[in-house]
Chain A
Amino acid sequence: MDDHTRNTTADPAEPSDASAGTEQTSAEVSGEVAKGDEAAQSAPVRRIEVPSYPRATRRELIKLAPLLAVGVFAIPRFQPALFKAGLTFTDWAAASWFRRRHLAPTFADSDVVPIERFPFNSYAGDDPGIDLAAWTLQVDGLVARPGDYTLPEIQALPKVRQNTRHVCVEGWNVIGRFGGARFADLLALVGADTTARYLTFECADGYYESLDMATALHPQSLACYEMYDAPLPRGHGAPLRLLLPTKIGYKSAKYLITMTVTNDLQALGYWEDQGYDWFYGL
């Protein structure tokens, strides 16, 4: 019993901060000190003079003040700036993890979902009614050969077929079979400056999207004109769409009509302007 009251004072294993105000006020000082090992597993009971106890607890309470900083998230006026910072940090992290040569998983034909069960989300109708025969991709910006590119010109590039996973921001994902030209080959065809930072796209349905150059150069990024070994259906973005297995679904813009290579981001993207994340690499 007496051990109990004596052992618990002047413990060297105690946090110095806490003991600062109590060491001198402890009633008993003599006796053995608890072993460090035990002290780490337990919190020694001490005796503290009455006036110093409220002082100690008050000081400890004040030390929690940094918690109030989280409260700014509850103030609507500050939320846009805070979330912008949060998404900027998220983008920075995802961009730093992104590896240009790390491939997204590809799947066997037996893993591919039938095309009837491959969903498509649209926000302005399923078909903007493109005249496929007259369609061209208008290319400008930091490119050596700006101009209008026809589908046969793009189809003349080496064709890649791949079974990859399409991940929607809503939470569903689906494995599909896609074919097209490597986007890097298209960039070479138009003589794009691949040291430029961004690509911006406009779509026939009013959608728009932008992309970092590193992702555009990824070997699995396609200028996609085929799905399930057939021409791209109208609902999936005929005649040409982006197909980016290393990006969230909404980055793979459909119904492409223009492409601009730039060093400054002129437009984020349709969904990004509503508040969705910009980089969103997978």
Chain B
Amino acid sequence: MTGSTVSESPEPQWPAPEAVHFAYEVRAAYEHPWLVRLTHWLTAVCLFVLIGSGLQIFMAFPSFGPKIPQENFIEIPQAFRIGGWLAGALMWHFTFMWIFIATGVAYLIFQCVSGRYRMVLFTRRDVAGVWPMVKHYALRHPQPLLTAPYNPLQKLAYTSTILLGVASVATGLVLFNPVQFSWLTWLMGGFSRARVWHFLAMCGFLAFIPGHLVMVAVHGWKNFVSMVVGWKRDPEYRAE
């Protein structure tokens, strides 16, 4: 619509907004309500603590096999661990897991009640738009026309992180209370398997976070500001 030049409107024609310098105006969009921003940054802190302490916990038995004979899977450098030793790491983990859960629940309730989940939820309609965005970012193809704050690739990434969060909590619940949540333990193929899934969920976050940070650094300073103050100045998309 914004690219068209013909209008049936009887009112005087306005030039394209980006072509005119409004000295007294800022073109801006309020993208992220307070609760979304708060939960975003709380989740960032939680993931930092939970991954660091989780790696320290893992180092108490860095294997997915039997205790006898023990074959270590990986050695996590001290710099990536939080808590100093197993008990210290468990304190961090057992405290921040509740903050993580409360944050996630608050976010999900807000998204559902406000209807804003439609802004971020990846649906079948977004499938076709993923590849053009990949081509744009990776192969420097021209940017597809954007009409909303999140493009299909972003929706895919953000929806995945929400699933990863749910998976982390479900697998963590099994590791914490495998007997009380025995049906979940069974569903995950047993306690030892759940430990693998919990680790893989963390790997999913570790795959997402660098990409997320790179995209913000390269493409999205305005996105960063928007996640802090809610407003995005001169958004690149055009509201229809």
Contacts and interface: CB of A to CB of B under 8 A. Distances in A.
B94 A2 contact: no
Given A43-B232, A60-B230, A105-B179, A167 B26 contact: no
B67 A282 contact: no
A interface residue count range (under 10 / 10 to 19 / 20 to 34 / 35 or more):
35 or more
B interface residue count range (under 10 / 10 to 19 / 20 to 34 / 35 or more):
35 or more
Given A40-B119, A277-B90, A67 B42 contact: yes
A82 B148 contact: no
Contacts of A63: 34, 38
B191 A64 contact: no
B86 A167 contact: no
Interface string B113-131: 0111011000000000000
Given A82-B95, A83-B91, A282-B180, A172 B17 contact: no
Interface in B63-113: 63, 66-68, 70, 86-88, 90-92, 94-96, 98-99
Nearest to B66: A117
A173 B4 CA distance: 66
B87 A172 contact: no
Interface string A41-75: 11111111110010011101101101100100100
B94 A90 contact: yes
Interface stretch (B54-62, B159-167, B204-212): B54-62
Interface string B198-218: 000000000000000000000
Nearest to B6: A1
Interface of B: 1-2, 4-5, 7, 9, 11, 13-17, 22-31, 33-34, 37-38, 41-42, 45, 49, 57-58, 60-61, 63, 66-68, 70, 86-88, 90-92, 94-96, 98-99, 114-116, 118-119, 147-149, 176-182, 185, 191-192, 195, 228-233, 235, 237-240
21 contacts: A2-B14, A4-B2, A4-B17, A7-B240, A45-B27, A47-B28, A48-B25, A57-B230, A60-B231, A61-B228, A64-B34, A83-B92, A86-B96, A97-B177, A97-B181, A117-B66, A171-B60, A246-B179, A275-B87, A282-B178, A282-B179
Given A1-B1, A17-B33, 13 more contacts: A1-B2, A18-B230, A36-B115, A47-B25, A66-B38, A70-B45, A89-B95, A104-B179, A117-B67, A169-B86, A170-B61, A171-B195, A276-B90
